[in-house]
Amino acid sequence: MIERGYDADTARHSVVRALLPVVRYPAEIWRHRYLLQNFFRRELLGRFRGSALGIVWVLIHPVFLFAIYYFVFGYVFGRPATGTAPSPAFALYLFSGVLAFTSFGEGLIRSCTCVVDNGNLVKKVAFPSELLPVPPILVGLTVYLVGAAVCLGTGLFYGVLQPDWTLLLLPVVLLLQFLMTLGLGLFLANCNVFARDTSHLWGILQTAWMFLTPVFWYPHQIPGEIGDSLRAAFQWNPAYSLIQAHRLVLGARDFDLREGETAIAVTFGSLGDHLLACACWALALLALGYGVFMSRRHRYADLV
């Protein structure tokens, strides 16, 4: 009789085979919802434990980033000759972009290290490690909702934002962002287990990604062939459609920005097209991240 043994390192764990259970992933999240709820509360409150301002810090970081970018791109580079303040439309355009990308990026940064940071849980056989990125991503979305409320109130006060029924689609945009962040977060978390430089490298790449996304500049602001090529490349930038969808559901509308005698057309595109692009990216990234993560999960306990 031939004895058969099992070796986790040499056993077949293909990405395609590991991808098939992704259809059960939502049910897995729902089944462990109370566990995730406790992790979410610990993640959210743990950031502010012992601080004087407490949960107020939720708003300080995005507002601080907005103030810096508003000064640099609004005053220093925007209107150096006149020194006048940029229009409220530019301020809300910038603030909404900073809020959306900060929420998206924060979820990715924290997901990148979630497996390594929770090595004691990963070593437990029965623990579903594929759920680890969920709480930090939900915290990022919660922070965004607080900032979005401030952005919406300010936009209504200045008459810049004109929300309508599309505001009801905000949960859809948040769901697509959640799936997109979860897929890419699972992929990064897997890479960080095998190469701890991943988290540091991703911090650099994410900063470059933000500057290549129209967070504080307009897609039609760059003229000529370079601008045309850049706008054509937006379809390969998942963050572009996501941020534009956020702006549209909050009530942003096309407008003309005048800089001296030059008028720059600021357009946001079609909400339906952006949602479709976000859905495609979310499914593709979730399939990639989940398949890679589950196909390599058997080795995490030995490496963390």
251-300 residue pLDDT tens: 877 666 655 555 666 777 788 889 999 999 999 999 999 988 888 888 88
CA distances from 18 to 124, 128, 288 (A): 20, 14, 10
- Residue 250 contacts by C-beta under 8 Å, 6 or more apart in sequence? 96, 148, 151, 152, 155, 161, 163, 167, 170
Q: Which pLDDT band holds residue 228 (cuts at 50, 70, 90)? A: low
pLDDT of residue 176: 95
Q: How many CA atoms lie within 13 A of 184 on its CB side?
A: 21
Question: What's the pLDDT tens digit per position in 11-23?
Answer: 456 666 666 667 7
d(CA 98, CA 63) in angstroms, rounded, equals: 9
d(CA 294, CA 36) in angstroms, rounded, equals: 19
At residue 302's C-alpha, the angle toward residues 296 and 304, to 5°, is 90
Higher-confidence residue: 53 or 26?
26
Question: What's the pLDDT tens digit per position in 102-145?
Answer: 889 989 999 998 888 887 887 776 778 888 899 999 988 988 88
Q: Global pTM?
A: 0.84
> Which of 58-67, 105-114, 192-201 is predicted least confidently?
58-67
**CA neighbor of 275 nearest in space, from 174, 206, 197:** 174
The conformation of residue 85, written as its DSSP 8-state character, comes to P
Identify the three-state secondary structure at position 263. Answer: strand
d(CA 79, CA 257) in angstroms, rounded, equals: 12
pLDDT of residue 6: 39
Higher-confidence residue: 122 or 9?
122
Question: What's the pLDDT tens digit per position in 148-159?
Answer: 888 888 788 777
Q: Is the per-residue pLDDT at 85 higher than 70? A: no
For range 183-212, the mean pLDDT: 90
pLDDT of residue 118: 83
pLDDT of residue 60: 75
d(CA 79, CA 5) in angstroms, rounded, equals: 71
Residues in the chain: 304
Mean pLDDT of the residues in the chain: 79
Q: Is the per-residue pLDDT at 5 higher than 50? A: no
96, two tokens: 């909404």
Alpha helix positions (H), 77-197: 88-112, 114-117, 119-122, 134-158, 170-194
